Protein backbone atom coordinates (compact mmCIF):
# COMPACT_ATOMS: atom_id res chain seq x y z
CA UNK A 1 0.00 0.00 0.00
CA UNK A 2 2.46 2.59 -1.21
CA UNK A 3 -0.19 5.17 -1.92
CA UNK A 4 -1.73 4.90 1.53
CA UNK A 5 1.68 5.39 3.08
CA UNK A 6 2.19 8.46 0.97
CA UNK A 7 -1.18 9.88 1.95
CA UNK A 8 -0.57 9.14 5.61
CA UNK A 9 2.75 10.90 5.41
CA UNK A 10 1.07 13.92 3.86
CA UNK A 11 -1.68 14.04 6.45
CA UNK A 12 -1.58 16.24 9.50
CA UNK A 13 -0.61 15.25 13.02
CA UNK A 14 -3.18 15.21 15.81
CA UNK A 15 -1.62 18.37 17.16
CA UNK A 16 -2.00 20.16 13.84
CA UNK A 17 -5.61 19.06 13.60
CA UNK A 18 -6.20 20.71 16.96
CA UNK A 19 -4.44 23.85 15.80
CA UNK A 20 -6.29 24.04 12.50
CA UNK A 21 -9.70 23.07 13.81
CA UNK A 22 -11.02 26.62 14.18
CA UNK A 23 -9.86 27.57 10.70
CA UNK A 24 -11.27 24.36 9.33
CA UNK A 25 -14.70 24.94 10.84
CA UNK A 26 -14.70 28.50 9.52
CA UNK A 27 -13.47 27.28 6.12
CA UNK A 28 -10.33 29.36 6.19
CA UNK A 29 -7.95 26.53 5.32
CA UNK A 30 -6.50 26.17 1.85
CA UNK A 31 -7.54 23.32 -0.39
CA UNK A 32 -4.46 21.20 0.31
CA UNK A 33 -4.61 21.66 4.07
CA UNK A 34 -8.32 20.88 4.04
CA UNK A 35 -7.55 17.67 2.15
CA UNK A 36 -4.82 16.72 4.64
CA UNK A 37 -7.21 17.53 7.43
CA UNK A 38 -9.86 15.19 5.98
CA UNK A 39 -7.31 12.42 5.48
CA UNK A 40 -6.24 12.62 9.09
CA UNK A 41 -9.80 12.70 10.43
CA UNK A 42 -10.65 9.74 8.24
CA UNK A 43 -7.84 7.68 9.74
CA UNK A 44 -7.75 8.90 13.32
CA UNK A 45 -10.65 7.95 15.64
CA UNK A 46 -9.23 10.19 18.38
CA UNK A 47 -9.53 13.31 16.27
CA UNK A 48 -12.94 12.28 14.97
CA UNK A 49 -14.10 12.14 18.57
CA UNK A 50 -12.32 15.35 19.47
CA UNK A 51 -13.98 17.27 16.63
CA UNK A 52 -17.38 15.85 17.46
CA UNK A 53 -17.04 17.00 21.04
CA UNK A 54 -15.74 20.36 19.92
CA UNK A 55 -18.72 20.86 17.62
CA UNK A 56 -21.11 19.88 20.41
CA UNK A 57 -19.49 22.41 22.69
CA UNK A 58 -19.76 25.17 20.08
CA UNK A 59 -23.42 24.35 19.45
CA UNK A 60 -24.10 24.44 23.15
CA UNK A 61 -22.25 27.70 23.55
CA UNK A 62 -24.32 29.26 20.76
CA UNK A 63 -27.47 28.06 22.45
CA UNK A 64 -26.44 29.73 25.70
CA UNK A 65 -25.61 33.01 23.98
CA UNK A 66 -28.88 32.96 22.08
CA UNK A 67 -30.78 32.71 25.36
CA UNK A 68 -28.69 34.85 27.63
CA UNK A 69 -31.07 34.85 30.56
CA UNK A 70 -29.56 33.60 33.77
CA UNK A 71 -32.04 30.81 34.14
CA UNK A 72 -30.82 29.12 30.96
CA UNK A 73 -27.22 29.32 32.12
CA UNK A 74 -28.19 28.05 35.54
CA UNK A 75 -29.67 24.95 33.92
CA UNK A 76 -26.43 23.93 32.23
CA UNK A 77 -24.80 21.08 34.13
CA UNK A 78 -21.44 21.86 35.72
CA UNK A 79 -19.48 19.35 33.69
CA UNK A 80 -20.65 20.97 30.44
CA UNK A 81 -19.67 24.39 31.70
CA UNK A 82 -16.28 22.98 32.60
CA UNK A 83 -15.94 21.56 29.09
CA UNK A 84 -16.66 24.97 27.58
CA UNK A 85 -14.16 26.66 29.84
CA UNK A 86 -11.44 24.12 29.07
CA UNK A 87 -11.98 24.49 25.30
CA UNK A 88 -11.71 28.26 25.60
CA UNK A 89 -8.44 28.00 27.48
CA UNK A 90 -6.71 26.03 24.74
Q: Are 73 and 65 in contact (CB under 8 A)?
A: no
66/90 with CB nearer Zn ion: 90
CB of 39 to Zn ion, least distance (A): 11
Answer yes or no whether residue 14 interacts with Zn ion by CB under 5 A: yes
Considering the rule CB under 5 A, would residue 51 count as an interface residue with Zn ion? no
47 binds Zn ion (CB under 5 A): yes
Q: How far is the CB of 60 from Zn ion (least distance, A)?
A: 23
**Contact flag: residue 39 with Zn ion (CB under 5 A):** no
> What share of residues in the chain are helix, strand, coil (percent, to 5)?
80, 0, 20
User: b or e along 59-71 (b: 16 or more beta carbons within 10 Å of the residue's beta carbon)?
Assistant: eebeebeeeeeee
Q: What is the Cα–Cα distance from 79 to 35, expressed in whole angstroms?
A: 34
CB of residue 74 to Zn ion, shortest distance in Å: 36
Q: Which residues bind Zn ion (CB under 5 A)?
A: 14, 44, 46-47
Amino acid sequence: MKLLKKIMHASLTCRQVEEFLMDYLEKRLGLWTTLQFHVHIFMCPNCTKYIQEYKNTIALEKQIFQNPDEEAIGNVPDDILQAIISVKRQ
